[in-house]
Amino acid sequence: MKVAVLMGSANDREKMAPAIAMLERFGADASEHVMSAHRTPKEVAQFAGGAREAGYSVVICGAGMAAHLAGVVAAHTTLPVIGVPLSGSPLRGVDSLYSTVQMPPGIPVATVAIDGAANAAVLAIEILAVTDTDLAKKLAEFRAGGAK
């Protein structure tokens, strides 16, 4: 169970760290990548297009302001993509939320709350637990323990 955690900038690491921590808590193989939908679009498309073949099952994308990273990734893969709109702009992440959640039909991005990286990881675990009974058991224990 391999999950990619992408962020648009190295400056987003602190806000995306809860995703990595939560994935590791469940024993998922989490890898962190910094790439920008605007500054390195070819790299993003190449990564997304090869993500399934590279063994990834879910991709989590955190980005602020225009926040197109999750949408660009979703356009280049059929894997589940979870968007984390990040705060930091004068609009405190509302612009990121709208950019992440407003996708055209057929190219969905599951979107969590602004700065909701931990919940993005839990959602990724829920997706993976559909076919992994051991992970489903860990998830049930997590929920029974108050989900913190």
Instruction: Considering only residues 98 and 89, tell me which one the structure prediction assigns the higher pLDDT.
Output: 98
Mean pLDDT over 125-146 rounds to 95
Q: Could you tell me the pTM of the whole model?
A: 0.96
pLDDT reading at 106 higher than 90: yes
pLDDT reading at 147 higher than 80: no
Confidence of residue 89 (pLDDT cuts 50, 70, 90): confident
Mean pLDDT over 116-129 rounds to 98
> Measured between alpha carbons, how far is 12 from 52 in angstroms, rounded to an integer?
24
What is the pLDDT of the chain when averaged over all its residues? 96
Mean pLDDT over 8-19 rounds to 97
Enclosing domain of residue 135? 2-144
- Counting the structural domains of the chain, the total is 1
Residue 41 — φ and ψ, nearest 5°? -60, -35
CA 92, 9, 41, 117 dihedral sign is negative
CATH assignment at residue 127? 3.40.50.1970
